[in-house]
Amino acid sequence: MKTKIFNITLICAFFLALGAFPTKALSQENKPEGGEKKFNPQEIIMEHIADKHEWHMYGKSYLPLPIILYTDKGLETFSSAHLQPQGTVYAGKYYSYMLVNNKIKVADVNGKIDEANNKKVLDFSITQNVASMWMTGIILILVFFSMSSAYRKRPGKGPKGIQSWMEPLVLFIRDDVALPNIGVKYKAYMPLLLTIFFFILINNIFGMIPVFPGAFNLTGNIAVTLVLSVIVLLVVNLKANKYYWKHIFVPNPWWLFPIMIPVEIVSIFSKPIALMIRLFANITAGHIIVLSLISLIYIFGTQWAAVVSVPFTVFIDCIEVLVAFLQAYIFTMLTSLFIGMAIQEHHDHEVI
Q: Are residues 81 and 183 in the same domain?
A: no
pLDDT digits (tens, 9 = 90+) for 312-327: 888 888 888 899 999 9
Q: What was the pLDDT predicted at 352?
A: 36
Domain end call among 125, 142, 176: 125
List, for residues 129-143, the tens digit of each pLDDT value: 888 888 889 999 999
Specify whether 98 is located in the same domain as 200: no
Give the Cα-Cα-Cα angle 209, 173, 184 (nearest 5 degrees).
160
The reply to whether 13 falls in a domain is: no
Given a cut of 50, whether residue 350 has pLDDT beyond it is no
Task: Say yes or no to pLDDT of 342 above 50.
Answer: yes
Q: When comparing pLDDT for 209 and 248, which is higher?
A: 248
Co-location of 209 and 96 in the same domain:
no
Q: Give me the domain span that covers residue 335.
A: 129-343
Cα(121)–Cα(29) distance, integer angstroms = 33
Sheet holding 90-91, edge to edge: 90-91, 96-100, 103-106
Q: What confidence category does residue 214 fall into, taking pLDDT thresholds of 50, 70 and 90?
A: low
pLDDT tens-digit map of 23-50:
343 333 334 444 456 777 777 777 778 8
Mean pLDDT, rounded, of the chain: 81
Instruction: Specify if 259 maps to a domain.
Output: yes
One domain, residues 205 and 191: yes
Classify residue 19: in a domain, yes or no.
no
Instruction: Say how many domains are in the chain.
Output: 2
Task: Say if residue 115 is in the same domain as residue 173.
Answer: no
Return the pLDDT at 62: 77
d(CA 150, CA 213): 29
Looking at residue 220, the DSSP 8-state letter turns out to be T
Sequence-ordered list of residues with C-beta below 8 angstroms from that of 6, at least 6 positions apart, any chain: none
Tens digit of pLDDT for each residue in 176-189? 999 999 989 999 99
> Average pLDDT, stretch 283-293?
86
- The predicted model gives 59-68 an average pLDDT of 81
User: What per-residue confidence (pLDDT) applies to 36?
Assistant: 59
Answer yes or no: do 165 and 110 share one domain. no
Q: Give 305's pLDDT tier (boundaries 50, 70, 90).
A: confident
pLDDT-derived band at 349 (thresholds 50, 70, 90) equals very low
Here the contacts of 3-12 (C-beta below 8 Å, separation 24 or greater) are 8/321, 9/318, 9/321, 10/318, 12/205, 12/208, 12/209, 12/317, 12/320, 12/321
In a domain, 41, yes or no: no
In this structure, the answer to whether residues 251 and 274 fall within a common structural domain is yes
Residue 242 has pLDDT above 50, yes or no: yes
320 vs 226: CA distance, rounded Å = 22
Q: Which residue has the higher pLDDT, 216 or 72?
A: 72
pLDDT of 201 reads 93
> Are residues 87 and 159 both part of a single domain?
no
Q: How confident is the model at residue 260 (pLDDT cuts 50, 70, 90)?
A: confident
- Per-residue confidence (pLDDT) for residue 21, from 0 to 100: 41
Residue where a domain terminates, one of 102, 125, 148: 125
4, part of any domain? no
DSSP 214: T
What average pLDDT does range 209-215 have in this prediction? 56
Please report whether residue 199 resides in a domain. yes
If you average pLDDT over each of 26-30, 226-230, 248-252, which comes out highest?
226-230
Q: Give me the sign of the Cα torsion angle 319, 329, 55, 165.
A: positive
My answer on whether 332 and 184 are in the same domain is yes
pLDDT-based confidence at residue 6 (cuts at 50, 70, 90): very low
- Domain-embedded: residue 204: yes
The predicted structure's pLDDT at residue 119: 82
Tell me, yes or no, whether 210 and 244 share the same domain: yes
98, 177: one domain: no
| Residue 231 falls inside a structural domain | yes
The CA distance from 337 to 352, in Å, is 27
242: buried, middle or exposed (CB in 10 Å: 19+, 13-18, 0-12)?
exposed
Better pLDDT: 349 or 162: 162
134 and 121, same structural domain? no
C-alpha span between 258 and 301 (Å, rounded) = 61
Percent of the chain at pLDDT exceeding 90: 26
